[in-house]
Amino acid sequence: MANFGAIIIGDELLSGKRQDRHFPHVIETLAQRGLELKWCRIIGDDPALIVETLQQTLPLDDIVFCFGGIGATPDDHTRQCAAQAANVPLQRHPEAAAEIEARFGAEAYPHRILMADLAQGSRIIPNPFNRIPGFSLNRHHFLPGFPQMAWPMMDWVLDTLYPEIRNQAPETEVLITVLDIMESPLLDLMNEFVRRYPDLRFSSLPHIGEDGERKVEFGLRGTRPRVALGAAYLKQELGKMGLKLQENAD
């Protein structure tokens, strides 16, 4: 079972100057392949923080998409930080340099060519938009911040490097809403459910409406047969407690 993560970099996202679009797109792109996102971090353009984050995530076996900061302007730090976090030198990648030279010719120098300076051991990710590549290091895949570039590059990574990783997300989800109650009276039932159905993803989300209405939404995710069994058990036990229910399935 492969875990997927995302790191999204940019001060403009944290300041609110720009709305992030990568997070929902990553979820959608993975879902199209029967996969799901395990975690996401959104961080600013702080080199120390980028290095610290990558030092934590690079040793993982997770497949991670990192968006932003791979350009050549002073606020682009990701290439250098990836090398520092991996404790390897930054060096000019011949394939990346060839792509940039093919796109820009003599105008690749002296500035654009800097985007070919990658962490030692990197592999390039082709960029169909303007040929300035991203790069892979371990199972981390570093992409531009621009969606029109990053999103087809993410597709390429998933379909070229991980074609065998598919259909790992739970098949179905059922939501059971328990009306006129909060979580505390249901804790014993929840604990018993988790004990009986450890293979299901279980969640509990309480709601308090503006009119004071209280309800708890249970979420069950997993294979269809097991979700059906788990939902039947929950409805049976909640019925014994005399509670009103609403149910929704995908």
Query: For 15-23, what is the mean pLDDT?
Result: 96
Same domain, 140 and 35: yes
User: Where are any strands of DSSP class E within 26-157?
Assistant: 37-43, 63-67, 90-92, 117-119, 123-125, 134-137, 140-143
Q: What percent of the chain is predicted at pLDDT more than 70?
A: 99
Q: Is residue 167 part of a domain?
A: no
Same domain, 198 and 138: no
Contact 223, 170 (CB under 8 A): yes
Q: Is residue 236 part of a domain?
A: yes
Number of domains in the chain: 2
Same domain, 203 and 89: no
- Residue 78, classified by CB atoms within 10 Å of its CB into exposed (0-12), middle (13-18) or buried (19+), is buried
Same domain, 156 and 35: yes
Alpha carbon distances (Å) from 101 to 120, 133, 192:
20, 12, 63
**Which residues, 6 or more positions from 13, have their beta carbon under 8 angstroms from its beta carbon?**
19, 20, 42, 44
Mean pLDDT, the chain, integer: 95
Helix H or strand E encompassing 205: strand 201-208
Same domain, 89 and 180: no
Same domain, 62 and 114: yes
90-131 pLDDT, tens digit each:
999 999 999 999 999 999 999 999 999 999 999 999 999 999
**Which residues, 6 or more positions from 114, have their beta carbon under 8 angstroms from its beta carbon?**
72
Residue 209, pLDDT > 90, answer no
Domain holding 43, by residue range, is: 4-161
Last residue of a domain, one of 120, 138, 161: 161
Residue 53, pLDDT > 60, answer yes
Last residue of a domain, one of 111, 132, 161: 161
Same domain, 149 and 31: yes
C-alpha 64/C-alpha 139 separation (Å) is 6
Last residue of a domain, one of 161, 196, 213: 161
Query: For 176-189, what is the mean pLDDT?
Result: 95
Query: For 86-91, what is the mean pLDDT?
Result: 98
Q: Is residue 166 part of a domain?
A: no
Same domain, 141 and 200: no
Contact 106, 121 (CB under 8 A): no
Alpha carbon distances (Å) from 250 to 174, 217, 218, 220, 244:
7, 15, 14, 11, 21
The pLDDT assigned to 57 comes to 98
24-44 pLDDT, tens digit each:
999 999 999 999 999 999 999
Same domain, 124 and 184: no
Q: Is residue 75 part of a domain?
A: yes
Return the CATH number at 186.
3.30.70.600
Residue 240, pLDDT > 90, answer yes
Residue 60, pLDDT > 90, answer yes
211's tokens: 């009119």
For β-strands 172-179 and 214-222, DSSP reports them as antiparallel
Residue 176, pLDDT > 70, answer yes
Same domain, 152 and 190: no
